[in-house]
Structure 1
Amino acid sequence: MPRFLIAQSETPDERAARRAHTGQSSGESYADTLGQMMPGATIEICQPADDGSPVFTAGELAAFDAVFLTGSPLHVYDDTPEVRRQLAFMRAVFAAGTPSFGSCAGLQVAVVAAGGTVRKMPERMEAGISRRIVATAEGRDHPLLAGRAPTWDAPAVHGDEVETLPPGATRLAGNAVTHVQAAEIRHDKGVFWGVQYHPELSLGEIAIALRRQVDGLVEAGLAETPAEVEERAAVMAALHDAPERRSLRWRLGVDGELADTDARRREIANFLAALPSIDRRGAR
Protein backbone atom coordinates (compact mmCIF):
# COMPACT_ATOMS: atom_id res chain seq x y z
CA MET A 1 0.00 0.00 0.00
CA PRO A 2 1.18 3.55 -0.64
CA ARG A 3 2.91 5.74 1.92
CA PHE A 4 1.84 9.40 1.99
CA LEU A 5 3.27 12.42 3.81
CA ILE A 6 1.02 15.40 4.61
CA ALA A 7 2.78 18.71 5.28
CA GLN A 8 0.77 21.28 7.22
CA SER A 9 2.11 24.82 7.55
CA GLU A 10 -0.19 26.14 10.26
CA THR A 11 1.60 27.35 13.38
CA PRO A 12 0.91 25.46 16.63
CA ASP A 13 -1.53 28.19 17.72
CA GLU A 14 -3.32 28.06 14.38
CA ARG A 15 -3.60 24.27 14.59
CA ALA A 16 -5.05 24.56 18.08
CA ALA A 17 -7.55 27.20 16.94
CA ARG A 18 -8.67 25.08 13.99
CA ARG A 19 -9.09 22.03 16.22
CA ALA A 20 -11.17 24.10 18.64
CA HIS A 21 -13.58 25.10 15.86
CA THR A 22 -13.41 22.18 13.44
CA GLY A 23 -12.10 19.31 15.54
CA GLN A 24 -9.03 18.79 13.34
CA SER A 25 -5.96 20.57 12.08
CA SER A 26 -5.68 21.01 8.32
CA GLY A 27 -3.33 18.02 8.13
CA GLU A 28 -5.67 15.82 10.13
CA SER A 29 -8.54 16.81 7.86
CA TYR A 30 -6.45 15.94 4.80
CA ALA A 31 -5.50 12.60 6.36
CA ASP A 32 -9.17 11.73 6.89
CA THR A 33 -9.94 12.52 3.26
CA LEU A 34 -7.05 10.45 1.94
CA GLY A 35 -7.91 7.60 4.31
CA GLN A 36 -11.45 7.51 2.95
CA MET A 37 -10.26 7.63 -0.66
CA MET A 38 -7.46 5.07 -0.29
CA PRO A 39 -8.13 2.78 2.69
CA GLY A 40 -5.02 1.01 3.92
CA ALA A 41 -2.58 3.74 2.87
CA THR A 42 0.06 4.70 5.42
CA ILE A 43 -0.41 8.39 6.15
CA GLU A 44 2.02 10.54 8.14
CA ILE A 45 1.71 14.22 9.06
CA CYS A 46 4.55 16.68 9.51
CA GLN A 47 4.88 20.38 10.39
CA PRO A 48 7.86 21.64 8.37
CA ALA A 49 7.20 25.30 9.21
CA ASP A 50 7.55 24.70 12.97
CA ASP A 51 10.73 25.62 14.80
CA GLY A 52 12.44 22.41 15.88
CA SER A 53 10.44 20.18 13.54
CA PRO A 54 12.46 17.35 11.93
CA VAL A 55 14.07 18.43 8.66
CA PHE A 56 13.48 15.94 5.86
CA THR A 57 16.26 15.25 3.39
CA ALA A 58 15.51 14.60 -0.26
CA GLY A 59 16.49 10.98 0.33
CA GLU A 60 13.98 10.61 3.15
CA LEU A 61 11.24 12.24 1.08
CA ALA A 62 11.97 9.88 -1.82
CA ALA A 63 10.72 7.01 0.37
CA PHE A 64 7.15 8.37 0.16
CA ASP A 65 4.81 7.69 -2.75
CA ALA A 66 3.40 11.23 -2.60
CA VAL A 67 3.53 14.43 -0.55
CA PHE A 68 0.45 16.58 0.09
CA LEU A 69 0.56 20.26 1.10
CA THR A 70 -2.44 21.61 2.98
CA GLY A 71 -4.00 25.04 3.08
CA SER A 72 -3.12 27.39 5.94
CA PRO A 73 -3.03 31.08 6.92
CA LEU A 74 0.63 31.18 5.81
CA HIS A 75 1.53 34.15 3.57
CA VAL A 76 4.43 32.97 1.44
CA TYR A 77 5.42 36.52 0.46
CA ASP A 78 6.35 37.21 4.12
CA ASP A 79 10.05 36.67 4.87
CA THR A 80 9.59 34.84 8.16
CA PRO A 81 11.36 31.80 9.63
CA GLU A 82 8.14 29.78 9.20
CA VAL A 83 7.92 30.63 5.50
CA ARG A 84 11.61 29.95 4.91
CA ARG A 85 11.35 26.53 6.57
CA GLN A 86 8.25 25.64 4.55
CA LEU A 87 9.89 26.68 1.27
CA ALA A 88 13.04 24.68 2.12
CA PHE A 89 10.83 21.64 2.71
CA MET A 90 9.13 22.05 -0.67
CA ARG A 91 12.45 22.44 -2.46
CA ALA A 92 13.54 19.16 -0.87
CA VAL A 93 10.33 17.54 -2.18
CA PHE A 94 11.16 18.76 -5.68
CA ALA A 95 14.74 17.49 -5.31
CA ALA A 96 13.47 14.10 -4.17
CA GLY A 97 11.32 13.70 -7.26
CA THR A 98 8.40 12.58 -5.12
CA PRO A 99 5.08 13.52 -6.79
CA SER A 100 3.24 16.18 -4.81
CA PHE A 101 -0.19 17.76 -4.61
CA GLY A 102 -1.34 20.89 -2.82
CA SER A 103 -4.38 23.05 -2.31
CA CYS A 104 -4.69 26.78 -1.55
CA ALA A 105 -1.55 27.75 0.38
CA GLY A 106 -0.05 24.42 -0.74
CA LEU A 107 -0.16 25.61 -4.34
CA GLN A 108 1.34 28.94 -3.33
CA VAL A 109 4.23 27.30 -1.46
CA ALA A 110 5.09 25.16 -4.49
CA VAL A 111 4.92 28.20 -6.79
CA VAL A 112 7.36 30.25 -4.71
CA ALA A 113 9.68 27.30 -4.01
CA ALA A 114 10.05 26.83 -7.77
CA GLY A 115 10.67 30.53 -8.49
CA GLY A 116 7.23 32.06 -8.98
CA THR A 117 5.49 34.77 -6.95
CA VAL A 118 2.38 35.08 -4.79
CA ARG A 119 0.59 38.27 -3.74
CA LYS A 120 -2.23 39.46 -1.54
CA MET A 121 -5.34 39.69 -3.71
CA PRO A 122 -6.02 43.36 -4.53
CA GLU A 123 -9.34 44.44 -2.99
CA ARG A 124 -10.99 41.06 -3.35
CA MET A 125 -11.05 37.51 -2.04
CA GLU A 126 -12.83 34.22 -2.61
CA ALA A 127 -14.74 32.77 0.31
CA GLY A 128 -17.13 29.85 0.41
CA ILE A 129 -17.32 29.03 -3.28
CA SER A 130 -14.98 29.66 -6.17
CA ARG A 131 -17.34 30.23 -9.10
CA ARG A 132 -17.18 29.36 -12.78
CA ILE A 133 -13.70 27.82 -12.91
CA VAL A 134 -12.71 27.04 -16.51
CA ALA A 135 -9.87 24.84 -17.76
CA THR A 136 -7.28 26.34 -20.09
CA ALA A 137 -6.52 24.66 -23.41
CA GLU A 138 -3.71 22.77 -21.64
CA GLY A 139 -5.94 21.95 -18.70
CA ARG A 140 -8.66 20.38 -20.84
CA ASP A 141 -6.26 17.58 -21.76
CA HIS A 142 -4.48 17.32 -18.41
CA PRO A 143 -5.21 14.30 -16.17
CA LEU A 144 -5.56 16.52 -13.08
CA LEU A 145 -8.87 17.83 -14.43
CA ALA A 146 -10.11 14.62 -16.09
CA GLY A 147 -13.88 14.36 -15.77
CA ARG A 148 -14.45 18.00 -14.85
CA ALA A 149 -17.38 19.78 -16.46
CA PRO A 150 -16.63 22.64 -18.89
CA THR A 151 -17.09 25.00 -15.93
CA TRP A 152 -17.34 24.15 -12.24
CA ASP A 153 -17.53 25.55 -8.72
CA ALA A 154 -15.33 24.47 -5.81
CA PRO A 155 -14.93 25.17 -2.07
CA ALA A 156 -12.54 28.08 -1.52
CA VAL A 157 -11.33 30.45 1.18
CA HIS A 158 -8.33 32.60 0.23
CA GLY A 159 -7.09 36.17 0.19
CA ASP A 160 -3.73 35.44 -1.50
CA GLU A 161 -3.18 34.23 -5.06
CA VAL A 162 -0.51 33.20 -7.52
CA GLU A 163 0.88 36.28 -9.26
CA THR A 164 3.39 34.65 -11.63
CA LEU A 165 3.98 30.97 -12.27
CA PRO A 166 7.58 29.72 -12.17
CA PRO A 167 9.53 28.40 -15.15
CA GLY A 168 8.39 24.87 -15.94
CA ALA A 169 4.81 25.50 -14.84
CA THR A 170 1.57 25.21 -16.81
CA ARG A 171 -1.63 27.05 -15.93
CA LEU A 172 -4.47 24.53 -16.07
CA ALA A 173 -7.52 26.53 -14.93
CA GLY A 174 -8.68 29.95 -13.79
CA ASN A 175 -11.75 32.09 -13.27
CA ALA A 176 -12.72 35.75 -13.27
CA VAL A 177 -11.45 36.23 -9.70
CA THR A 178 -8.15 34.35 -9.72
CA HIS A 179 -6.12 33.76 -12.87
CA VAL A 180 -4.43 30.59 -11.56
CA GLN A 181 -6.94 28.12 -10.09
CA ALA A 182 -4.99 25.00 -11.07
CA ALA A 183 -1.44 24.39 -12.25
CA GLU A 184 1.25 21.83 -12.85
CA ILE A 185 4.82 22.67 -11.81
CA ARG A 186 7.89 20.77 -13.02
CA HIS A 187 10.96 21.74 -11.04
CA ASP A 188 14.22 19.93 -10.35
CA LYS A 189 13.23 16.24 -10.36
CA GLY A 190 9.67 16.82 -9.15
CA VAL A 191 6.16 17.15 -10.51
CA PHE A 192 3.57 19.08 -8.50
CA TRP A 193 -0.16 19.32 -9.22
CA GLY A 194 -2.10 21.94 -7.31
CA VAL A 195 -5.31 23.91 -7.06
CA GLN A 196 -6.18 27.20 -5.42
CA TYR A 197 -9.43 25.75 -4.06
CA HIS A 198 -10.06 23.02 -1.48
CA PRO A 199 -11.13 19.63 -2.90
CA GLU A 200 -10.15 18.00 0.39
CA LEU A 201 -12.62 19.93 2.55
CA SER A 202 -16.20 19.06 3.33
CA LEU A 203 -18.92 21.67 2.97
CA GLY A 204 -19.31 21.57 6.75
CA GLU A 205 -15.67 22.64 7.15
CA ILE A 206 -16.18 25.48 4.68
CA ALA A 207 -19.22 26.63 6.70
CA ILE A 208 -17.06 26.71 9.83
CA ALA A 209 -14.36 28.68 7.97
CA LEU A 210 -16.93 31.30 6.94
CA ARG A 211 -18.10 31.69 10.53
CA ARG A 212 -14.51 32.06 11.74
CA GLN A 213 -13.82 34.83 9.22
CA VAL A 214 -17.09 36.72 9.49
CA ASP A 215 -15.52 40.12 10.24
CA GLY A 216 -13.09 39.83 7.34
CA LEU A 217 -15.85 38.84 4.93
CA VAL A 218 -17.93 41.88 5.87
CA GLU A 219 -14.87 44.13 5.63
CA ALA A 220 -14.12 42.71 2.15
CA GLY A 221 -17.65 43.54 1.02
CA LEU A 222 -18.69 39.94 0.41
CA ALA A 223 -21.51 40.42 2.93
CA GLU A 224 -23.23 43.48 4.34
CA THR A 225 -23.69 42.09 7.85
CA PRO A 226 -22.54 39.15 9.98
CA ALA A 227 -26.08 37.79 9.68
CA GLU A 228 -25.60 37.40 5.93
CA VAL A 229 -22.44 35.36 6.51
CA GLU A 230 -24.27 33.18 9.02
CA GLU A 231 -27.11 32.62 6.57
CA ARG A 232 -24.69 31.47 3.86
CA ALA A 233 -22.79 29.26 6.32
CA ALA A 234 -26.03 27.68 7.55
CA VAL A 235 -27.08 26.72 4.02
CA MET A 236 -23.60 25.33 3.34
CA ALA A 237 -23.75 23.24 6.52
CA ALA A 238 -27.23 22.00 5.63
CA LEU A 239 -26.03 20.95 2.16
CA HIS A 240 -23.20 19.05 3.84
CA ASP A 241 -25.81 17.04 5.75
CA ALA A 242 -28.14 16.60 2.75
CA PRO A 243 -26.15 17.00 -0.51
CA GLU A 244 -29.01 15.65 -2.59
CA ARG A 245 -31.47 18.43 -1.59
CA ARG A 246 -32.25 20.42 -4.72
CA SER A 247 -33.61 23.35 -2.71
CA LEU A 248 -30.26 23.84 -0.94
CA ARG A 249 -28.33 23.54 -4.20
CA TRP A 250 -30.64 26.17 -5.68
CA ARG A 251 -30.13 28.56 -2.78
CA LEU A 252 -26.35 28.38 -3.22
CA GLY A 253 -26.53 28.26 -7.02
CA VAL A 254 -24.45 25.07 -7.28
CA ASP A 255 -24.72 21.63 -8.81
CA GLY A 256 -23.21 18.22 -8.12
CA GLU A 257 -19.68 19.36 -8.93
CA LEU A 258 -19.66 21.03 -5.51
CA ALA A 259 -22.41 19.20 -3.61
CA ASP A 260 -21.35 15.60 -4.33
CA THR A 261 -18.36 14.38 -2.33
CA ASP A 262 -16.74 12.36 -5.11
CA ALA A 263 -17.09 15.19 -7.63
CA ARG A 264 -15.73 17.73 -5.15
CA ARG A 265 -12.64 15.56 -4.61
CA ARG A 266 -12.06 14.89 -8.29
CA GLU A 267 -8.59 16.45 -8.51
CA ILE A 268 -7.29 14.41 -5.58
CA ALA A 269 -8.73 11.23 -7.08
CA ASN A 270 -7.12 12.04 -10.43
CA PHE A 271 -3.75 12.64 -8.76
CA LEU A 272 -3.94 9.34 -6.89
CA ALA A 273 -4.85 7.50 -10.08
CA ALA A 274 -1.95 9.11 -11.96
CA LEU A 275 0.74 8.36 -9.35
CA PRO A 276 2.03 5.18 -11.04
CA SER A 277 2.60 7.13 -14.28
CA ILE A 278 4.32 10.21 -12.83
CA ASP A 279 8.01 9.86 -13.58
CA ARG A 280 10.22 10.87 -10.66
CA ARG A 281 12.64 12.59 -12.99
CA GLY A 282 10.13 15.34 -13.75
CA ALA A 283 8.29 13.86 -16.75
CA ARG A 284 4.83 12.38 -17.02
Structure 2
Amino acid sequence: MHILVSESEPPAARRKRRDSVGRSSGETFIKRLAQLVPGATCDRVTPADEGSAVPDAAKIAGYDAVFLSGSPLHLYEDSPAVRREVALMRAVFQSGTPSFGSCAGLQVAVVAAGGTVRAMGPRREAGFARRIVRAAAGENHPLLDGRPPSFDAPAVHTDEVDRLPAGGTLLASNAVTRVQAAEIRHDNGVFWGVQYHPEISLREVAAALRRQSEDLVEHGLARDEADIDDHSATIDALHADPARQHLAWRLGLDAQVTDEAKRMIELRNFIDHLVLPTRSARGRTRG
Protein backbone atom coordinates (compact mmCIF):
# COMPACT_ATOMS: atom_id res chain seq x y z
CA MET A 1 0.00 0.00 0.00
CA HIS A 2 1.27 3.46 -0.93
CA ILE A 3 0.24 6.27 1.45
CA LEU A 4 0.74 10.03 1.34
CA VAL A 5 0.97 11.90 4.65
CA SER A 6 0.43 15.64 4.42
CA GLU A 7 1.98 17.34 7.43
CA SER A 8 0.09 20.52 8.15
CA GLU A 9 2.57 21.92 10.68
CA PRO A 10 4.72 24.89 9.63
CA PRO A 11 8.47 24.55 10.30
CA ALA A 12 8.58 26.32 13.70
CA ALA A 13 5.78 24.19 15.10
CA ARG A 14 7.41 21.07 13.68
CA ARG A 15 10.66 21.85 15.46
CA LYS A 16 8.86 22.54 18.73
CA ARG A 17 6.96 19.27 18.53
CA ARG A 18 10.08 17.29 17.71
CA ASP A 19 11.82 18.87 20.69
CA SER A 20 9.01 17.71 23.00
CA VAL A 21 8.14 14.23 21.67
CA GLY A 22 10.83 13.42 19.12
CA ARG A 23 8.67 13.54 16.01
CA SER A 24 6.48 15.86 13.96
CA SER A 25 2.74 15.41 13.52
CA GLY A 26 3.25 13.75 10.14
CA GLU A 27 5.87 11.44 11.60
CA THR A 28 3.40 10.40 14.30
CA PHE A 29 0.95 9.38 11.57
CA ILE A 30 3.69 7.39 9.82
CA LYS A 31 4.47 5.60 13.11
CA ARG A 32 0.81 4.63 13.58
CA LEU A 33 0.45 3.53 9.96
CA ALA A 34 3.46 1.25 10.34
CA GLN A 35 1.50 -0.50 13.10
CA LEU A 36 -1.80 -0.61 11.22
CA VAL A 37 -0.53 -1.39 7.71
CA PRO A 38 2.79 -3.24 8.05
CA GLY A 39 4.84 -2.98 4.88
CA ALA A 40 3.08 0.14 3.63
CA THR A 41 5.20 2.81 1.94
CA CYS A 42 4.57 6.28 3.37
CA ASP A 43 5.66 9.52 1.72
CA ARG A 44 5.50 12.75 3.72
CA VAL A 45 4.93 16.21 2.23
CA THR A 46 4.97 19.57 4.03
CA PRO A 47 2.73 21.99 2.11
CA ALA A 48 2.93 24.68 4.82
CA ASP A 49 6.64 25.12 4.06
CA GLU A 50 7.60 27.89 1.65
CA GLY A 51 8.90 26.38 -1.59
CA SER A 52 7.72 22.90 -0.66
CA ALA A 53 7.17 20.60 -3.63
CA VAL A 54 3.73 19.01 -3.36
CA PRO A 55 2.10 16.52 -5.74
CA ASP A 56 -0.69 17.42 -8.14
CA ALA A 57 -3.95 15.50 -8.53
CA ALA A 58 -2.49 13.15 -11.14
CA LYS A 59 0.32 12.11 -8.82
CA ILE A 60 -1.94 11.86 -5.77
CA ALA A 61 -4.15 9.47 -7.76
CA GLY A 62 -1.24 7.03 -7.60
CA TYR A 63 -1.60 6.75 -3.81
CA ASP A 64 -4.01 4.46 -2.00
CA ALA A 65 -4.74 6.93 0.81
CA VAL A 66 -3.92 10.41 2.06
CA PHE A 67 -3.66 11.40 5.74
CA LEU A 68 -3.67 15.03 6.93
CA SER A 69 -2.15 15.88 10.30
CA GLY A 70 -2.98 18.48 12.90
CA SER A 71 -1.40 21.95 12.93
CA PRO A 72 -1.47 25.29 14.75
CA LEU A 73 -2.36 27.02 11.46
CA HIS A 74 -5.64 28.96 11.51
CA LEU A 75 -7.65 28.06 8.41
CA TYR A 76 -9.66 31.30 8.57
CA GLU A 77 -6.50 33.36 8.03
CA ASP A 78 -5.38 34.10 4.49
CA SER A 79 -1.68 33.22 4.51
CA PRO A 80 0.56 31.58 1.91
CA ALA A 81 0.86 28.48 4.12
CA VAL A 82 -2.92 28.13 4.44
CA ARG A 83 -3.39 28.63 0.70
CA ARG A 84 -0.86 25.88 -0.03
CA GLU A 85 -2.58 23.51 2.44
CA VAL A 86 -5.98 24.13 0.89
CA ALA A 87 -4.64 23.80 -2.67
CA LEU A 88 -3.17 20.40 -1.85
CA MET A 89 -6.45 19.23 -0.34
CA ARG A 90 -8.35 20.35 -3.42
CA ALA A 91 -5.94 18.25 -5.48
CA VAL A 92 -6.65 15.31 -3.16
CA PHE A 93 -10.39 15.69 -3.74
CA GLN A 94 -9.81 15.97 -7.49
CA SER A 95 -7.67 12.81 -7.49
CA GLY A 96 -10.39 10.64 -5.99
CA THR A 97 -7.95 9.15 -3.46
CA PRO A 98 -9.59 8.43 -0.07
CA SER A 99 -8.42 10.85 2.61
CA PHE A 100 -8.49 11.15 6.39
CA GLY A 101 -7.62 14.06 8.66
CA SER A 102 -7.53 14.85 12.35
CA CYS A 103 -7.90 18.25 14.03
CA ALA A 104 -6.57 20.83 11.52
CA GLY A 105 -6.61 18.05 8.91
CA LEU A 106 -10.42 18.03 9.18
CA GLN A 107 -10.46 21.83 9.02
CA VAL A 108 -8.31 21.89 5.85
CA ALA A 109 -10.73 19.52 4.13
CA VAL A 110 -13.72 21.60 5.23
CA VAL A 111 -12.26 24.82 3.80
CA ALA A 112 -11.06 23.11 0.59
CA ALA A 113 -14.61 21.89 -0.05
CA GLY A 114 -16.23 25.28 0.62
CA GLY A 115 -16.99 25.20 4.36
CA THR A 116 -15.71 27.52 7.08
CA VAL A 117 -13.62 27.33 10.27
CA ARG A 118 -13.62 29.69 13.25
CA ALA A 119 -11.77 30.35 16.49
CA MET A 120 -13.36 28.80 19.59
CA GLY A 121 -13.08 32.01 21.60
CA PRO A 122 -12.75 31.27 25.32
CA ARG A 123 -13.73 27.59 24.95
CA ARG A 124 -11.03 24.90 24.89
CA GLU A 125 -10.69 21.14 24.55
CA ALA A 126 -7.34 20.59 26.15
CA GLY A 127 -6.18 17.03 26.64
CA PHE A 128 -9.35 15.08 25.93
CA ALA A 129 -12.67 15.62 24.19
CA ARG A 130 -15.33 14.27 26.53
CA ARG A 131 -18.61 12.48 25.89
CA ILE A 132 -18.51 12.42 22.11
CA VAL A 133 -21.78 11.02 20.73
CA ARG A 134 -22.94 10.06 17.26
CA ALA A 135 -25.16 12.34 15.22
CA ALA A 136 -28.05 10.70 13.39
CA ALA A 137 -25.94 10.13 10.26
CA GLY A 138 -23.16 8.64 12.38
CA GLU A 139 -25.27 5.90 13.92
CA ASN A 140 -24.30 3.35 11.29
CA HIS A 141 -21.34 5.08 9.69
CA PRO A 142 -18.30 2.80 9.40
CA LEU A 143 -15.88 5.50 10.58
CA LEU A 144 -17.23 5.02 14.11
CA ASP A 145 -17.54 1.21 14.08
CA GLY A 146 -16.57 -0.14 17.48
CA ARG A 147 -17.07 3.08 19.39
CA PRO A 148 -19.58 2.99 22.28
CA PRO A 149 -22.57 5.37 22.34
CA SER A 150 -20.44 7.94 24.22
CA PHE A 151 -16.65 8.09 24.31
CA ASP A 152 -13.65 10.30 25.04
CA ALA A 153 -10.63 10.89 22.79
CA PRO A 154 -7.35 12.84 22.86
CA ALA A 155 -7.97 16.42 21.72
CA VAL A 156 -6.13 19.73 21.85
CA HIS A 157 -7.53 22.55 19.71
CA THR A 158 -8.47 26.22 19.74
CA ASP A 159 -10.29 26.32 16.37
CA GLU A 160 -13.31 24.36 15.14
CA VAL A 161 -15.48 23.79 12.10
CA ASP A 162 -18.05 26.56 11.78
CA ARG A 163 -19.99 25.32 8.74
CA LEU A 164 -19.66 22.04 6.90
CA PRO A 165 -19.57 22.36 3.10
CA ALA A 166 -22.18 21.06 0.70
CA GLY A 167 -21.45 17.35 0.59
CA GLY A 168 -20.46 17.37 4.26
CA THR A 169 -22.20 15.09 6.76
CA LEU A 170 -22.02 15.50 10.52
CA LEU A 171 -21.17 12.18 12.21
CA ALA A 172 -20.42 13.03 15.86
CA SER A 173 -20.55 15.92 18.34
CA ASN A 174 -20.11 16.79 21.99
CA ALA A 175 -21.12 19.66 24.25
CA VAL A 176 -18.00 21.70 23.43
CA THR A 177 -17.49 21.17 19.70
CA ARG A 178 -20.38 20.47 17.36
CA VAL A 179 -18.31 18.91 14.55
CA GLN A 180 -16.27 16.13 16.16
CA ALA A 181 -16.46 13.80 13.16
CA ALA A 182 -17.60 14.29 9.57
CA GLU A 183 -17.62 12.86 6.09
CA ILE A 184 -17.07 15.16 3.12
CA ARG A 185 -17.84 14.18 -0.46
CA HIS A 186 -16.41 16.74 -2.85
CA ASP A 187 -15.31 16.66 -6.49
CA ASN A 188 -14.16 13.06 -7.06
CA GLY A 189 -13.12 12.34 -3.48
CA VAL A 190 -14.35 11.08 -0.12
CA PHE A 191 -12.83 12.40 3.12
CA TRP A 192 -13.39 11.10 6.64
CA GLY A 193 -12.18 13.28 9.48
CA VAL A 194 -12.30 13.95 13.21
CA GLN A 195 -11.60 16.98 15.35
CA TYR A 196 -9.88 14.80 17.93
CA HIS A 197 -6.60 12.86 17.61
CA PRO A 198 -6.86 9.06 17.33
CA GLU A 199 -3.23 8.98 16.19
CA ILE A 200 -1.49 10.48 19.21
CA SER A 201 -0.26 8.73 22.34
CA LEU A 202 -0.89 9.80 25.91
CA ARG A 203 2.71 11.01 26.03
CA GLU A 204 1.95 13.30 23.08
CA VAL A 205 -1.15 14.58 24.86
CA ALA A 206 0.96 15.53 27.88
CA ALA A 207 3.56 17.23 25.70
CA ALA A 208 0.89 19.21 23.84
CA LEU A 209 -0.48 20.54 27.14
CA ARG A 210 2.99 21.67 28.17
CA ARG A 211 3.53 23.37 24.80
CA GLN A 212 0.26 25.28 25.22
CA SER A 213 0.62 26.02 28.93
CA GLU A 214 0.45 29.81 28.57
CA ASP A 215 -2.83 29.62 26.65
CA LEU A 216 -4.33 27.18 29.17
CA VAL A 217 -3.45 29.40 32.12
CA GLU A 218 -4.78 32.46 30.28
CA HIS A 219 -8.13 30.73 29.73
CA GLY A 220 -8.47 29.53 33.29
CA LEU A 221 -7.98 25.81 32.77
CA ALA A 222 -5.01 25.86 35.14
CA ARG A 223 -3.82 28.23 37.85
CA ASP A 224 -0.23 28.17 36.68
CA GLU A 225 2.34 26.11 34.82
CA ALA A 226 2.88 23.95 37.90
CA ASP A 227 -0.74 22.80 37.60
CA ILE A 228 -0.14 21.82 33.99
CA ASP A 229 3.12 20.05 34.84
CA ASP A 230 1.37 18.03 37.56
CA HIS A 231 -1.53 17.09 35.29
CA SER A 232 0.81 16.23 32.42
CA ALA A 233 2.95 14.08 34.71
CA THR A 234 -0.10 11.98 35.57
CA ILE A 235 -0.85 11.51 31.87
CA ASP A 236 2.79 10.58 31.24
CA ALA A 237 2.65 8.00 34.03
CA LEU A 238 -0.48 6.45 32.54
CA HIS A 239 1.23 6.33 29.16
CA ALA A 240 4.12 4.44 30.73
CA ASP A 241 1.74 1.92 32.31
CA PRO A 242 -1.85 1.98 30.98
CA ALA A 243 -2.82 -0.74 33.48
CA ARG A 244 -2.55 1.72 36.41
CA GLN A 245 -6.28 2.03 37.01
CA HIS A 246 -5.93 4.61 39.76
CA LEU A 247 -4.35 7.02 37.25
CA ALA A 248 -7.07 6.37 34.67
CA TRP A 249 -9.65 6.99 37.41
CA ARG A 250 -7.94 10.24 38.42
CA LEU A 251 -8.05 11.45 34.81
CA GLY A 252 -11.58 10.16 34.20
CA LEU A 253 -10.47 7.92 31.33
CA ASP A 254 -11.46 4.44 30.24
CA ALA A 255 -10.14 1.95 27.69
CA GLN A 256 -11.37 4.06 24.77
CA VAL A 257 -8.36 6.28 25.51
CA THR A 258 -5.96 4.11 27.51
CA ASP A 259 -6.03 1.12 25.14
CA GLU A 260 -3.99 2.00 22.05
CA ALA A 261 -6.00 -0.22 19.69
CA LYS A 262 -9.29 1.33 20.83
CA ARG A 263 -7.82 4.82 20.69
CA MET A 264 -6.96 4.31 17.00
CA ILE A 265 -10.33 2.85 15.94
CA GLU A 266 -11.06 5.57 13.36
CA LEU A 267 -7.73 5.03 11.61
CA ARG A 268 -8.35 1.29 11.30
CA ASN A 269 -11.93 1.86 10.15
CA PHE A 270 -10.80 4.30 7.46
CA ILE A 271 -8.32 1.77 6.11
CA ASP A 272 -10.66 -1.21 6.32
CA HIS A 273 -13.91 0.40 5.19
CA LEU A 274 -12.80 3.05 2.69
CA VAL A 275 -9.19 2.58 1.57
CA LEU A 276 -9.16 -1.16 0.95
CA PRO A 277 -12.51 -1.29 -0.92
CA THR A 278 -11.48 1.70 -3.06
CA ARG A 279 -8.10 0.10 -3.74
CA SER A 280 -9.80 -3.12 -4.77
CA ALA A 281 -12.20 -1.27 -7.07
CA ARG A 282 -9.26 0.46 -8.72
CA GLY A 283 -7.60 -2.90 -9.27
CA ARG A 284 -4.51 -2.07 -7.21
CA THR A 285 -2.02 -4.91 -6.87
CA ARG A 286 0.80 -3.22 -4.96
CA GLY A 287 1.71 -4.59 -1.53
Paired with 2:135 and 2:279, the residues of 1 have a C-alpha distance of: 23
RMSD: 1.3
Change (3 A) 1:141 1:279: farther
Give the stretch that moved more between structures: 126-135 or 17-26.
Answer: 17-26
Q: Is the partner of 1:193 in helix, strand or coil?
A: strand
Match in the other structure for 1:256: 255
Bigger mean CA offset, 13-22 vs 248-257: 13-22
Answer with 14-23 or 255-264: which moved more.
Answer: 14-23
Q: How does 1:23-172 map to 2 (within 5 A)?
A: 23-172=22-171
Structure 1 segments (4+ residues) deviating >3 Å: 278-281
Distance in 2 between residues matched to 1:84 and 1:69, nearest whole Å: 15
Consecutive unaligned residues of structure 2, counting only runs of 5 or more, are: 282-287
In structure 1, C-alpha distance between the alignment counterparts of 2:51 and 2:214, rounded to whole Å: 34
State the partner residue of 1:16: 15
Shift in Å at residue 21 of structure 1?
A: 1.4
Post-superposition offset of 1:25: 0.8
Question: In the aligned structure 2, how far is the partner of 1:238 from the partner of 1:173?
Answer: 30
Residues 124-173 of structure 1 show CA distances to partners (whole Å, capped at 9, x for unaligned) of 11110100000111111000000101100000000000000000010000
| Deviates most, 140-149 or 48-57 | 48-57
Q: In the alignment, residue 151 of structure 1 is paired with which amino acid?
A: S
Counterpart contact for 1:98–1:280, Cα < 8 Å: no
Contact kept, 8 Å, 1:111 with 1:165, in 2: the verdict is yes
Q: For 2:207, what is the secondary structure of its paired residue?
A: helix
Instruction: Give the SS at the match of 2:222.
Output: coil
Who is 2:277 aligned against?
277
Instruction: Supply the distance in 1 between the matched residues of 2:100 and 2:41 (Cα, whole angstroms).
Output: 16
CA offset at residue 112 of structure 1?
Answer: 0.3
Looking at structure 2, the residues matched to 259 and 273 of structure 1 have their Cα atoms a distance apart, in angstroms, of 22
Q: Report Cα offsets for 1:184-222 as digits up to 9, x if no partner.
A: 000000000000000000000110111111111011111
AA in 2 matched with 1:70: S
Encode CA deviations 1:24-52: one digit per residue, 9 max, x unaligned: 11111110011111110001100112221
- 1:233 counterpart = 2:232: yes
Distance in 2 separating the partners of 1:157 and 1:17: 16
Q: CA separation in 2, counterparts of 1:230 and 1:20?
A: 17
Please tell me whether the aligned partners of residues 46 and 54 of structure 2 are also in contact (alpha carbons under 8 angstroms): no
**Which residue type is aligned with residue 250 of structure 1?**
W
Distance 1:194 1:27 in 2: 15
Q: Indicate the residue corresponding to 2:284 in structure 1.
A: none
Provide the rounded CA distance (Å) in 1 between the counterparts of 2:280 and 2:166: 18
Q: TM-score, with normalisation over the residues of structure 1?
A: 0.96
The aligned residue for residue 178 of structure 1 is 177
The secondary structure found in structure 2 opposite 1:176 is coil
- For the Cα contact (< 8 Å) 2:238–2:247, is it kept in 1? yes
Instruction: Work out whether residues 190 and 280 of structure 1, in 8 Å CA contact, stay in contact via their aligned partners in 2.
Output: no
Conservation of the 8 A alpha-carbon contact between 1:126 and 1:157: yes
2:117 aligned counterpart, secondary structure: strand
User: Separation in 1 of the partners of 2:186 and 2:12?
Assistant: 32
TM-superposed deviation, 1:276: 2.4
Distance 1:160 1:116 in 2: 14
Alpha-carbon distance in 1 for matches of 2:67, 2:45: 10
Residue in 1 that maps onto 2:205: 206
- Structure 1, gaps ≥5 residues long: none
CA positional deviation for 1:278: 4.1
Q: CA deviation at 1:122?
A: 2.2
Q: Structure 2 counterpart of 1:114, which letter? A: A
Verify the 8 A CA contact 2:5 2:45 in the aligned structure 1: yes
